[in-house]
Amino acid sequence: MVRAAILPAVGAPLEIRDIVLPEPGPGQVRVRLTAAGVCHSDLSLTDGTMRVPVPAVLGHEGAGTVLAVGDGVTHVAPGDGVVLNWAPSCGACHHCGIGEVWLCVEALRGVGAVHAHDARGNELHPGLNVAAFAEETVVAARCVLPAPTGIPLAEAALLGCAVLTGYGAVHHSAQVRPGESVAVFGVGGVGLATLQAARIAQAGPIVAVDVSPAKEELARAAGATDFVLASDTTAKQVRALTGGRGADVAIECVGRAETIRAAWDSTRRGGRTTVVGIGGKEQQVTFHALEIFHFARTLTGCVYGNSDPARDLPVIAEHVRAGRLDLGGLVTDRITLDGIPAAFDAMLAGKGGRSLVVF
């Protein structure tokens, strides 16, 4: 028996209760969680924006220690620290074959599997493959990566989603070059990682945009040179801070129609707008044909930072060890499993950065 955060049904409140985990079978790994980040994607599962089988154990950004491995697992062993990879690539589909592993068609096939049972014997699914909102989890071997040396496991949990996404949005999707101006919309966990990644890319100016004035201190600590409180004049203010042209790159980390539109409007002619935030189908964004021609901007989606975790984790870890990337700076609250519902409420209210469940 281990404690876990369970989503019993879409729209229902989380339940923190005991579950029964199986022993790892062939090609599986059992992990004792050290920490798990509370991500907006978890919230998107609760309200149905992202659909997975329920009831499910949520949580997808985590790190911990291997307790046991099944037959055929050789890349990790009991006692090893690992980072969970919620979207593992198969290596065989078309997207993997052309190097777009973040679009692997098999990445989320595991969400339909039976992960565990509750105390009454009901089947539970792994929300986004790895079920990190639990004291322990059993995952496919391709869902664990060796934890980088020299980084505390609790903070390494953030590498599994927020940091890979924010770093990749800057370095892979938008391909920010030194001296380019960047505007980041949304200063949550991913937004803070994006700001730090823009600083690493030697961008400037770096403008942070958020609805909460309380986020300014967090944003500036992460690398923002300027802070704009979101309003009807956001695009005008961003243009004023970027030579009157608009930002070379705007990165949207919220997933709302009005924020995506504001990011687009804040981008200079010929610039790049990258959308990281996950919005629902009801979030309709409109453009007219003339502006698409006239502004010649590029609008792109960004999945998991367009990252390859196996390739990118060592690179990011070196930035952490060198002091260029501060994982602790993303965390505003350290909580227990019981604190996850309150962390969801804080996200909905636009408060704080990353909440980190520490076991």
The string of pLDDT tens digits covering residues 200-210 is 999 999 999 99
pLDDT band at 223; cut points 50, 70, 90: very high
How does strand 61-69 pair with strand 28-38? antiparallel
pLDDT for the residue 349: 87
How does strand 2-7 pair with strand 116-118? unpaired
pLDDT for the residue 48: 85
pTM of the model: 0.95
pLDDT tens per residue, range 258-275: 999 999 999 999 999 999
Q: What is the mean pLDDT of the chain?
A: 95
- The mean per-residue pLDDT over the stretch 178-186 comes to 98
pLDDT for the residue 225: 98
Q: In Å, what is the CA distance from 87 to each residue of 60, 109, 304, 323?
A: 9, 9, 8, 27
Q: How many Å apart are CA 319 and CA 148, to the nearest integer?
A: 11
pLDDT for the residue 49: 87
pLDDT tens per residue, range 32-49: 999 999 998 898 898 888
Q: Is the pLDDT of residue 214 over 90?
A: yes
pLDDT band at 50; cut points 50, 70, 90: confident
pLDDT tens per residue, range 282-301: 999 999 999 999 999 999 99
Q: 116 in helix, strand or coil?
A: strand
Residue 322's identity, in one-letter code, is A
Tokens found for residue 324? 């260029």
The crossing angle, in degrees rounded to 10, of helices 234-241 and 257-266 is 30
- The mean per-residue pLDDT over the stretch 147-173 comes to 96
pLDDT for the residue 350: 87
> Percent of the chain beyond pLDDT 70?
100
Q: Is the pLDDT of residue 106 over 90?
A: yes
pLDDT for the residue 24: 96
Domain ranges in the chain are 2-159+327-358, 164-304
- The mean per-residue pLDDT over the stretch 154-178 comes to 97
Q: Is the pLDDT of residue 335 over 90?
A: yes
- The mean per-residue pLDDT over the stretch 48-77 comes to 95
pLDDT for the residue 51: 86
Domain 2-159+327-358 architecture: Alpha-Beta Complex (3.90)
Q: Is the domain 164-304 a CATH 3.40.50.720 member?
A: yes
Q: Of 350 and 332, which is predicted with more confidence?
A: 332
Count of alpha carbons within 13 Å of 167, Cβ hemisphere only?
26
